[in-house]
Homo-oligomer: A and B are copies of this chain.
Amino acid sequence: MVRADAQLNAERLRTAAQEVFAERGLGAPLEEIASRAGVSVGTLYNRFGSREGLIDGAMTVLLREQVEAITARAGACVDAGARFASYLHGLVEMQILTPALAQSIAQAPPGSELAKECATAMEHVAAALAGAIDAGVVRSDARIDDVTALLVANVAVISAVNADSARRLTSVVLAGLRQ
């Protein structure tokens, strides 16, 4: 059985991890996360097993929330081209808002919860892309991998240049994908 206090600690650790990873990157000392959660390192390891496990546990929830919002906004677009554009812009804004999430996605180990959640999200985007191609507003040779590449690219641009450059890059890519 799982004790109630253990679950509470896990929750606190997830929250602390989101904060600390945002402030100091995914390599932040786990001691800091533990202490911010009001708990010892030992407990962190008891709950999540490893840094990888903690990243997975903390980021998957975050991703799900963000993707729901993005999907809702995109779904409101009637036009297929606008829907695809809405996805791209929504995803960049998510990356800008939560760079640690973006980074953890870019290096999510295959098979992790995060990778699965990500794959699910990309299915929606792929559908929007297919719709845009059918509507004739996007080049027929565009692939979902191009979107993946853009997202990976943005992670670097946001951290090494700035948010606006990532927005610009996204717009340019979108222009390049239109036919």
Looking at the complex, which of A7-15, A60-68, A113-121, A144-152 is the stretch in contact with chain B?
A: A144-152
Number of A residues contacting the other chain (C-beta, 8 Å)? 26
Shortest distance from the beta carbon of A168 to any chain B beta carbon, whole Å: 6
User: Which of A153, A168, A173, A174 has the most chain B CB atoms inside 10 A of its CB?
Assistant: A153
* Closest B residue, CB atoms, query A175: B176
The residues of B that contact A150 with a CB separation of less than 8 Å are: 169
CA distance A146 to B153 in the complex (A): 13
Question: For chain A, what secondary structure do more than half of its interface residues adopt (helix, strand, loop), or is it mixed?
Answer: helix
CA distance A171 to B157 in the complex (A): 18
A106 interfacial by beta-carbon distance below 8 Å:
yes
The residues of B that contact A106 with a CB separation of less than 8 Å are: 156, 160
* Closest B residue, CB atoms, query A143: B168
A77 interfacial by beta-carbon distance below 8 Å:
no
Q: Mark A124-149, 1 if CB is under 8 A from B, else 0.
A: 00000000000000000000011011
The residues of B that contact A174 with a CB separation of less than 8 Å are: 176
Residues A169 and B146 in contact, CB atoms below 8 Å apart: yes
CA distance A154 to B154 in the complex (A): 10
Q: Provide a sorted-by-A list of 26 A–B residue pairs whose CB atoms are within 8 angstroms.
A: A106-B156, A145-B161, A146-B165, A146-B169, A146-B172, A148-B161, A148-B165, A149-B161, A149-B165, A149-B168, A149-B169, A150-B169, A152-B156, A152-B157, A152-B160, A152-B161, A153-B153, A153-B156, A155-B156, A169-B173, A171-B176, A172-B173, A172-B176, A174-B176, A175-B177, A176-B176
| A residues whose Cβ falls under 8 Å from a Cβ of B | 106-107, 145-146, 148-150, 152-157, 160-161, 165-166, 168-169, 171-177
